[in-house]
Amino acid sequence: MNRLSARACRIIAALGFWGMIALAVMIRGTGGLLIAYAAIVWLAAFSLQAWRTQDEFERAAQKFSWVFGGLFGLMGSLALLPLVTQPGVIAPMLDWVAGMLEASDPVAPAFLLGVVYIVLGQLVGFLVCWVGWHVAKR
């Protein structure tokens, strides 16, 4: 069996993860939670395989981008927090998340939205830094 390239592993990891997460959101309940856990295991397994197949240059780009890009993405998301928490902005997002979750706890939508906000900030920072690394080094 041929080994998959790092790019193929990352694509398989992302597509499988988001496909399973979409399925978990549709199913909900205990079954949806189990599928979400399976999606996390899927993402971890293929990400680890991608890491192992990368050369040292790609590994250095990943490490640099997660450390500095993730940090600056987090700081950027925290800097935009006063804008995002305005009543006209946050209320529709909370209503949308609450409608999707159908949770009995009123704090659950705000918690989930906060987690997604921080993760997206770090991901955007990582991607900007990763692209910048490749533009500068190649």
pLDDT for 57-95, tens place per residue?
999 999 999 999 999 999 999 999 999 889 898 889 888
Is the model's pLDDT at 96 over the cut of 90? Answer: no
What integer pLDDT is reported at residue 40 of this predicted model?
96
What integer pLDDT is reported at residue 2 of this predicted model?
61
CA distance 104 to 94: 14
pTM of the model: 0.79
Is the model's pLDDT at 1 over the cut of 60? Answer: no
Q: How far is CA 16 from CA 4, 45, 51, in A?
A: 15, 11, 17
**How many other CB atoms are found less than 10 A from the CB of residue 93?**
15
User: Which distant-in-sequence residues (6+ apart) come within 8 Å of 39 by Cβ?
Assistant: 16, 17, 20, 21, 24
Radius of gyration of the chain (CA): 18
What are the tens digits of pLDDT across the range 45-54? 999 999 999 9
What is the pLDDT averaged over residues 101-126?
Answer: 88
Segments in the chain forming alpha helices (H) = 6-27, 29-53, 56-64, 70-79, 81-84, 87-101, 108-137
**Of the candidates 133, 131, 110, 129, which has an alpha carbon nearest to the alpha carbon of residue 121?**
129
User: How high does pLDDT run on average in the chain?
Assistant: 91
CA distance 13 to 42: 7
